[in-house]
Structure 1
Amino acid sequence: MRVLFRTNAIDDRVRRILVENLYTKPGALFLGAANGIIAALIAASYSDVPLLRNTAILLSVIGMGRVIMALALPRLVKRDTAWLETAYQIGAFSFCLVVGVLGGMTVMYQLPGAAQMLIICYAIGYGSGMSSRNAGRPSIAIGGMVLTFAPICYALLQQPSLAHRALAVAIIIAFLGMMTIATQIFRTLRDSVAAAETSARLAEKMQVLARSDVVTGLLNRAGLNHFLVEHLARWRNSSSIALFWFDLDKFKEVNDALGHQTGDKVLCEVAQRLRSQAKLDAVIGRFGGDEFILACDVRDRREAETIALSLLGEVSRPLRIDENRLEVACSMGIALYPDDGTDIETMMQGADLALYHAKVNGRNQASFFDPSMTRDLVRRREIEAELRLAVQRDELSIFFQPIVDLKSGKIRAFEALVRWFHPEKGELRPDEFIPVAEETGAIITLGNWITAQAARAAAQWPDDVTVAVNLSPLQIKAPGAALGILNALREARLPPHRLELEITETVLLDHSKQTEDFMAELSAAGVRFALDDFGTGYSSLSYINKYPFGKIKVDRSFVSGVNAGKKSEAIIRAVSEMALTLDMQIVAEGLETIEQVDAVRKAGCTLGQGYYFSRAVPDYLAGMLLAQEREKLNPMQAIG
């Protein structure tokens, strides 16, 4: 009985599946009804009792009505489950009751034995079939059997014949067995359907998890590809699709300094900011590491640019993680569909190239894809592959540009500049291969080689002439960087005070203790430091106060740039006065005319460098320049 009335044991979806199963295979329902109608009409033909004939006709009407209802199922599926179940119950119970009453009447009116056997056999067979076919709703199966068997058993028990009474008992025993079968089938069917539903939900959940990033909750790479393909399939000709590829600048330093837990929190915050700024139809995902991708419909390139600036501004806002105030900027590459590609793979390649271009051009900016980027990338890849072999093939050379005392005209130092003479491509400019070397990490090996070669050349010069070498941020952060420079000086037998390392402000932006220790160790050994490209950064004065710089190199834009003029002269004069107070030297770069030389000398610069004095020359010509200078300054000694 608990199974009979247990309607809440399965959820609504499972119940609906079981109820709809009642309406399946209307052909079987038709055969059952037709068989019953034929049996009823034949039995009624053996009697002149109007009630019996009317009962047979009623059975025929109910049977045909149930068949029609089953055929109308496609129009009934929109009904709720309770309505479908109630409608089926009314039809089934009516048919069963009429079959049972008809069977009882054949006994009570003592129709011929063949007629009684026809109706009773049909009733027992119908009840047996009902116990299995309607087991999906045991209340219907058991209720139908009760309505079918009860009138027949009652009529049989009223008869004096032992055979009639024995048949009634047999029907009751069969009913109990069929009820057990019905409930067992129901449990099995219910559990199977429920298990299938559970498996489907788990499969759906697993699919969601397989397409989700565990850290941010955004789509992962697989999810991105799936939903981008779907988004592309919904594309409308009246719009474009913009694909934004983000890369967080210097995120590795956050992980290294504060730990991966803090790094994960940064990623979650970035993900939340992307969600807050994205359009409702946008697809957002974490591509891996510190890279994110966002795709959405846009009207045109201008709208894509507006969205890019909004996203850049939101992501680059300072954030606070565990009492730490962090500034994590980002670079972005953008590709448009269908302008930059007709499939997802091509679009992603374009956005990736644009991102690469944005990072090469200084980071913290957005860049749209352009076909020329593909050619640039091919050239960069060629340079990257050949640069590693250039040192072994003796294709690289060190040239030296003199730094001159503006008062006496004497050469005080040379800046070491690398040159690459490729056997097929000819001379490659430093701005072509130095950025590639920095991106690939080859700058460490290249920088150490430049320092060693410069030190060997400087060891042949007079003791009062120094050599200046530019340092890359990667060189400074490389393990054992200071020791490597000291070893190069030792092997070249060049006193440390004759080496001057030029560092740009970008090296100092992250306020790294590693940089402080590097400069402190070399400064203690006697190596000198110069602040290069002064005036192009943001915090130059604080750097001068914090680090052991003995020289400042004023950027060439103040001397020969488009903005050179009275304002730049005033700036140089102010810097020169400050340097005089701090006992520092000031080098003016980019001097090309005598007017520029006079201007920077009057402004207070002590040293000058530029084409006016000399271009960069090989080491042997640098030696000749020094020899000629010494000969002019001391001709008698030269004669002697």
Structure 2
Amino acid sequence: MKHFGGNDRDDDVRLKLVETLYNQPTSLMMAVLTGAMGGITAAIATQNPVITAVGVALALTGIVRFVLYYRMHRNALDHDARKLERIFEAGAYAFAGLCGLLAALTIYLHPPGAIQVLTVSLSLVYGVGISARNAARPLIATGQLLLVCLPIAIAGLLAQDIVYAILSALLVLVFAAVVSVTLNLFRILRDQITAAEVSARMADNMRRLARTDVVTGLLNRAGLNHDLVELLMALPEERMLAMFWLDLDKFKEVNDTLGHPVGDRVLAEVAARLRAQAPDKAAVARFGGDEFIVVAEVGDRFESERLARAIAEDISRSIRIDQRRIDIATSMGVALLPNDGHDIDTLMQSADLALYHAKVGGRNQVCFFDTAMTRDLVRRKEIEVELRSAIQRDELSIFFQPIVDLETGRIRSFEALVRWFHPEKGELRPDEFIPVAEETGAIITLGNWITAQAAKACAQWPEDVTLAVNLSPMQLRAPGAALGILTALRDAGLAPHRLELEVTESLFLDDSADTVRFIDELSAEGVRFALDDFGTGYSSLHYVNKYPFKKIKVDRSFVSGPNAGRKSDAIIRAVAGMGSTLDMDIVAEGLETIEQVQAVKAAGCTLGQGYYFSRAVPDYLAAMLLAQERERDEKARRA
């Protein structure tokens, strides 16, 4: 059906326009009542069978029309726009035509003048008023007005009376004016609805884009949260919701060696494989970086195990990109609702914890959540997350513990020790967060920060005081590790020979070329190295012989541990004798009493460190200790 304004952009706009016909039941009811009363009044007043028949038909048409209108009004969205329009159109034309016919008959048959005024007035008022009301469908509005005006105009011409002839002419002008107003209203209304529809579509597209990951086309976090709510609401009571949280193992190596474009293509391929394995209606999302989440409805744990195994096996298949073969494995944590959590947040925490357990347990494995994953694992995970932002929040501080010359009692060096003062948990011990930092790789950022901050403090001390910093094996293996340390020294204005890196024997287990290159590069610049915790772990004189150590630190267990005694004294003496021969300083750690100080000094140790001399202190107290020492020396010199 072709209407005025037939260029409606689509069915949605058309439906909105048609719905406006059904949005004002009160106005239609008033029009029906007025027309019905006018028709009945004319029938009673004239007693003319023709006028009576038309008047009764008008009243009945109005009643039927209002009943249909009310039913359609309540269920407008359940019907096709064209069907709604046709039903309204038929009733509108019938009612308008009867109104016009009734008025025309009263003019042509010459009943009392008051009846003519009543019927003509009601018909014209109805025709003009309904045109504005139904402007959303201008053909209906114009057709109604035409059906009202045309019979009156014809009757006026047939009456052969100048007044009625003028009325007929005026009706033409009224018709043209009202049609113009109606079409203008239609254009305004159509444009507004069209603009609203365009805005709604743009909002939908923006919402969809906001919920979609650009690289993989999967859901992002926002999209996952939205779909999780829908999955949970639709979950049958006897079914379970399984969450599979995946982390690609060593994906960073792909980005570092092949570049991010190749890495993105690997992520897209993993996404495609996840879509292929995921059941219908499952939510598949890229949670961030190289982490993915699949949430699916399952019948039992066995079904979730089969799905987890299928996903892991599919991802482990080699990926070919530009003739390159790339092998990717995944660690996966799985949690089930309601077994492992009764809401989405708890389910995600359980799956995340299971994933963490899978990575700590050796990677490339699937781990289901169970209650054996204790609070300790939760705490370690919290530490991992919070540690990465602790530096920016100024929660980390560098403390310095003096290393003292046992012969003179003067401070020769300070060991930099990191302290974490958490705003809620209080002070966290290094043995709580350093292992977590090493497991997660955060030790690289942390270690570089410690070196940079400690070097800035040391640069303010006297030239003869050096700085000792612990070095993690992971820091050494990081790309550009030596350059990073030299850059920190340069930025701080600290001479390389004033820095001493303390390494443990675990660093040399693989005895790699990277280790040799790192030590050689820094040694060439003047940086010194010390072997820390000597006498524990994998002690070997081979390391002392191969690498340019200037200092050996005897582990505190030989000095103040539960097994300290005659045997440990003999070991300390042997190490001290070796150090004297090789022109190396021997540091005794863990000194707490004067007796221990005297014992290690007698054994041949040259330096000492421990609570007997001082605990680790902030940088301003370290500077104060040095100032006090210099003041004592000056007084002694003057004396």
How far 1:502 sits from its partner (Å)?
Answer: 3.3
Q: Output the TM-score relative to the length of structure 2.
A: 0.65
RMSD: 4.7
How far 1:272 sits from its partner (Å)?
Answer: 0.8
Give the conservation status (yes or no) of the 8 Å contact 2:69–2:88: no
Tell me which residue corresponds to 1:149.
149
* Structure 1: runs of 5+ lacking an equivalent: 396-427, 450-469, 494-498, 509-513, 526-550, 552-616, 629-640
Give the conservation status (yes or no) of the 8 Å contact 1:277–1:311: yes
Distance in 1, matches of 2:75 and 2:446, equals 78
Q: Output the TM-score relative to the length of structure 1.
A: 0.65
CA deviation vs aligned residue, 1:336-358 (integer Å, no higher than 9, x gap): 22222222222222222222222
Distance in 2, matches of 1:180 and 1:146, equals 13
Within-5 A mapping of 1:465-614: 472-481=473-482, 502-504=508-510
SS class of match (1:32): helix
Within-5 A mapping of 1:620-635: 621=571, 624=574
With 317-326 and 76-85 compared, the bigger mean Cα shift is at 76-85
How far 1:373 sits from its partner (Å)?
Answer: 2.9
Give the conservation status (yes or no) of the 8 Å contact 1:332–1:367: yes
1:66 aligns with 2:72: no
Distance in 1, matches of 2:143 and 2:316, equals 71
SS class of match (2:363): coil
SS class of match (2:287): strand
Distance in 1, matches of 2:382 and 2:55, equals 95
How far 1:153 sits from its partner (Å)?
Answer: 0.7
Distance in 2, matches of 1:40 and 1:381, equals 83
SS class of match (2:8): coil
Residue type matched to 2:69 in 1?
A: A
How far 1:270 sits from its partner (Å)?
Answer: 1.0
CA deviation vs aligned residue, 1:310-351 (integer Å, no higher than 9, x gap): 211211221122332211222112222222222222222222
1:218 aligns with 2:168: no
With 194-203 and 71-80 compared, the bigger mean Cα shift is at 71-80
Residue type matched to 2:87 in 1?
A: A
SS class of match (1:7): coil
Residue type matched to 2:250 in 1?
A: K
Give the conservation status (yes or no) of the 8 Å contact 1:44–1:56: yes
For the structure 1 residues 82 and 432, does the alpha-carbon distance in structure 2 shift closer, same or farther, using more than 3 Å as the test? closer
For the structure 1 residues 105 and 483, does the alpha-carbon distance in structure 2 shift closer, same or farther, using more than 3 Å as the test? closer
Distance in 1, matches of 2:506 and 2:60, equals 110
For the structure 1 residues 10 and 281, does the alpha-carbon distance in structure 2 shift closer, same or farther, using more than 3 Å as the test? closer
Tell me which residue corresponds to 1:339.
339
1:20 aligns with 2:26: no
For the structure 1 residues 180 and 502, does the alpha-carbon distance in structure 2 shift closer, same or farther, using more than 3 Å as the test? same
For the structure 1 residues 434 and 118, does the alpha-carbon distance in structure 2 shift closer, same or farther, using more than 3 Å as the test? closer
Distance in 1, matches of 2:203 and 2:568, equals 70
Residue type matched to 2:297 in 1?
A: D
Tell me which residue corresponds to 1:37.
36
Give the conservation status (yes or no) of the 8 Å contact 1:380–1:436: no
Tell me which residue corresponds to 2:632.
none
Give the conservation status (yes or no) of the 8 Å contact 2:40–2:56: yes
Tell me which residue corresponds to 1:369.
369
SS class of match (1:244): strand
CA deviation vs aligned residue, 1:219-243 (integer Å, no higher than 9, x gap): 1112212222332233333232221
How far 1:46 sits from its partner (Å)?
Answer: 4.6
Tell me which residue corresponds to 1:53.
52
Within-5 A mapping of 1:206-605: 206-377=206-377, 380=380, 437-442=438-443, 472-481=473-482, 502-504=508-510
For the structure 1 residues 177 and 437, does the alpha-carbon distance in structure 2 shift closer, same or farther, using more than 3 Å as the test? same
Give the conservation status (yes or no) of the 8 Å contact 1:3–1:183: no
Give the conservation status (yes or no) of the 8 Å contact 2:476–2:518: no
CA deviation vs aligned residue, 1:75-134 (integer Å, no higher than 9, x gap): 676443323222222222122222222212211222222221111111110111111111
Tell me which residue corresponds to 1:168.
168
Distance in 1, matches of 2:93 and 2:444, equals 89
Residue type matched to 2:19 in 1?
A: E
How far 1:490 sits from its partner (Å)?
Answer: 9.1
May I ask how many residue pairs the two structures share in their alignment?
485
Give the conservation status (yes or no) of the 8 Å contact 2:285–2:293: yes
Give the conservation status (yes or no) of the 8 Å contact 1:248–1:290: yes
Distance in 1, matches of 2:382 and 2:142, equals 82
Residue type matched to 2:30 in 1?
A: L
How far 1:483 sits from its partner (Å)?
Answer: 11
Give the conservation status (yes or no) of the 8 Å contact 2:43–2:52: yes
With 356-365 and 431-440 compared, the bigger mean Cα shift is at 431-440
For the structure 1 residues 175 and 481, does the alpha-carbon distance in structure 2 shift closer, same or farther, using more than 3 Å as the test? same
For the structure 1 residues 130 and 282, does the alpha-carbon distance in structure 2 shift closer, same or farther, using more than 3 Å as the test? same
For the structure 1 residues 266 and 445, does the alpha-carbon distance in structure 2 shift closer, same or farther, using more than 3 Å as the test? closer
Give the conservation status (yes or no) of the 8 Å contact 2:447–2:475: no
Distance in 1, matches of 2:570 and 2:479, equals 32
Distance in 2, matches of 1:41 and 1:382, equals 83
SS class of match (1:373): coil
Distance in 1, matches of 2:31 and 2:383, equals 84
Distance in 2, matches of 1:69 and 1:483, equals 82
Distance in 2, matches of 1:55 and 1:316, equals 83
Distance in 1, matches of 2:118 and 2:374, equals 88
How far 1:370 sits from its partner (Å)?
Answer: 3.2
Distance in 2, matches of 1:431 and 1:11, equals 64
- Aligned residues with identical type, % of pairs: 40
Distance in 2, matches of 1:281 and 1:67, equals 45
Give the conservation status (yes or no) of the 8 Å contact 2:447–2:472: no
Give the conservation status (yes or no) of the 8 Å contact 1:123–1:148: yes
